[in-house]
Each structure stands twice: as C-alpha cells, then as structure tokens.
Amino acid sequence: MSEIESASLDPLERHLLNDFQRNLPLEPRPFQRMAEQLGTSEARVLECLSLLNRDGRISRVGPVFRPHSVGTSTLAAMAVPGERLDEVALLINQYPEVNHNYEREHRINLWFVVTAPDEPHLQEILKDMELRTGLPVISLPMLEAYHIDLGFSLQWGVGNSAAEASHPSARQAPFHPGPGPGLGKAEGAIESEFDRRLVATIQQGLPLVAQPFAEIAEQVGLDERQVIRRLREWLANRVISRLGVIVRHRRLGYRANAMVVWDVPDDRVSQLGRCMGQYDFVTLCYQRPRRLPEWRYNLFCMIHGRDRDTVIEKVEWLVQQCDLQDIPHRLLFSRRSFKQRGAHYQRSDAADHGTVASRQRELASC
C-alpha cells in the first residue's frame, strides 16, 4: 500500500491521531468518553479507529511499556553486506522477539530491537542470530533513559519544512526521565501471574469494542475493575509510559526518520541527554554503551520529520540549544522499515518460553 498523506484524513481522524496518543480514559467505556469529548458517537470513534488500524496509520490502541519494566530488551545492530541485506532482514524478522527492524544509512546498516522475558533468553536469541547469519551482532542495551514516548504533535496544517523546523518547543507536560536497567525497576512492576497474563493480553493493543477492559478481564480471568485498577497503577508507577493511540509516522507523512548518535564524554551524557529529551520533536533519547572499536557513540535520540531537510534543521537547532558544537555526531536515516509492531513481552498462551528451536513454530504468525 502506498504512503497515506495527512490531507486524506477527516477532522475526527486527525483529533483521534493527535489528541489521544496518551491519556486514554481508564473507565469501562473509554471510547464513549472520547466520543463525548469530540462531539460524536462511540460507534463512530470505534469505526474510525478500526479503519485507521486496518489502513496501517496506527499500529494499535494500547500501552507503551517503559523499557525493562517488563522483561528485558536491547537495540541490536549488524553490518550486513548489501547483497545479503534482504535475506538477513527477513531472517531477523522471523524472530517473535524482534519488534522493530530497520535499514539505516551506515556501514552498520541493520538495526533492530529484541525483547525477551529475561536476560538469558535474550542472550540465547542473539547467539542464535549470529549462528544463523554468520554475522556478529552488536548489542546496545539501554543504560539510562532521558525521554521515551514515541508520541508527538503531528502539526496538522504545517505546510513546509522550514516552518516545521523553526518552531520547536519544550514539552508542555512535566519531564520525567526514566531509569535504565541498572537503576532498578519501577515500583509496582510486573509481579504476579495475573500481571503476566495481563501484559500478554494487552501488549498488542486493546480490543476495539465498547467495553475493552471487560473483554480483557474475561481473557485473564479477573474482573473489569481489577484490570482498570492495575493499569492505573502501572501508569502512576511508569511501568506504562503512555496509554493511547500508537501512530505509524511514515504513513502520516513523516517519511524522514533519523537515529542521531553522539560521542559524548561520559561526564556530560546525563546533562546533554536531559537537555535533548525536553524538546517535543525528540521522541526517544537515551544512553547506550560504546562497543569499541566498532561503535563509538553513547547517546542516542530519535527525530522524525516530513523530509530529510526538516530533520537536519532540527538537529542543527538542537546543537545550538544544548551546546553540542564540540560533540561528534552522525545522522542514521532510515532507508527501509522491515518490521514495526509492539513488543512481545509475554507469551499469549499457556506454553512455556522454551528454547529458540522449540519456538520456531511461531514464525509463521509474525
């Protein structure tokens, strides 16, 4: 399917995509509450969200879990010869543990996120990838997070790159950097079998029905009030960083996607990461380890724009605002998206996690 421009969206679709990326009402009929706020019907909101989901403009309506509050994950990368890139990308896509997989403009050209229930399982997956591809995998787990959200204003009505880039602003909501894995998990993290069942049920989104939490409760064997209460607790404790509409930026006209990486002195990483993370055009900002000699960069941020020039202008603006003139950096623009979906933290059935070999039966469903 071709790219779908924002011009094709009606006013209701625009409001749903922009205004409900977070703060989904946690009550028995959330879509009815949204409809009341938008002056329409619950049925129309559900119909609209279902259409946006089918068309690929949203990936789901559901939670974004803070990294390492559920299981563990890493950003992984490989330097793949050009003639093998499609073959290797397809193989990496087959792992249920991989939720994002991109080709980026760099010698190290394949970048993907691997999520697993625990660290031994994660390491098993990475070793299996190396064995099957014959290529080394660079693992870059998060050390500290300065902003992780993946939501931002879609800036409806901005008609040119210069205007979009020249009006960045600090986030209106309070900025709360999240800890990395070395700083401990959030209070109220995943603690029980009920929690694990709930994660498995909602990780790919809420059912688009009038009473989604009642349907979820039936699947996990509890009642609607318990499900809503637990989600509220996870939001309060930042186990869930946001709950709402998860948009696909490229399908909405934001075709330029750059992972900007910086080689920052260790004693300045937190200061500069916090500075970058406060601006509304930065959707991700975090510290990851260097892997010398292959990889020298330790601070990462993600910037989206309608075109390359917009992203470059935003990076130049960031350099000025955060005093980054002396910091070496690279823009790794995305060339192709091979896979993009919500992370699978828990199995959605009663089967145990097993070994890599026993779980290859799942590949056909990916």
Confidence of residue 155 (pLDDT cuts 50, 70, 90): low
Max mean pLDDT among 2-6, 143-147, 180-184, 212-216 falls in 212-216
DSSP 27-61: SS-HHHHHHHHHTS-HHHHHHHHHHHHHTTSEEEE
Least confident piece of the model among 240-249, 251-260, 342-351: 342-351
Q: Write the DSSP string, 84-140.
A: GHHHHHHHHHT-TTEEEEEEESSSS-EEEEEEESSHHHHHHHHHHHHHHHSS--EEE
The predicted structure's pLDDT at residue 67? 74
Reported as a pLDDT band with limits 50, 70 and 90, residue 170 is low
Q: What is the pLDDT of residue 192?
A: 81
Spatial separation of the C-alpha atoms in residues 115 and 125, rounded to whole Å: 10
- H-helix segments, 253-339: 269-277, 308-321
Q: Does residue 161 surpass a pLDDT of 50?
A: no
Asked if 110 contacts 89 with a C-beta cutoff of 8 angstroms, the reply is yes
Task: Give the pLDDT of residue 176.
Answer: 41
Give the strand order in the sheet containing 138-140. Answer: 138-140, 72-78, 110-116, 98-104, 329-340, 256-262, 299-305, 282-287, 144-148
- Quote the pLDDT of residue 230: 95
Query: How far does the chain reach from its first CA to its final CA, in angstroms?
Result: 19
Would you say residue 4 has pLDDT above 50?
no
Distance of CA 246 to the CA centre of its chain: 9
Q: Which of these, 151, 180, 184, lies nearest to 73 by C-alpha position?
A: 180
Nearest C-alpha neighbor of 238 from the set 299, 177, 170: 177
**pLDDT confidence tier of residue 77, bands split at 50, 70 and 90:** very high
pLDDT at 234 over 90: yes
Q: How many residues does the chain have?
A: 366
Q: What pLDDT, in 10s, does the model give residues 287-321? A: 999 999 999 999 999 998 889 999 999 999 999 99
Our CA angle for 205, 344, 336, nearest 5°, is: 90
Question: In a 10 Å sphere around its CB, with 0-12 CB exposed, 13-18 middle and 19+ buried, how is residue 84 labelled?
Answer: middle
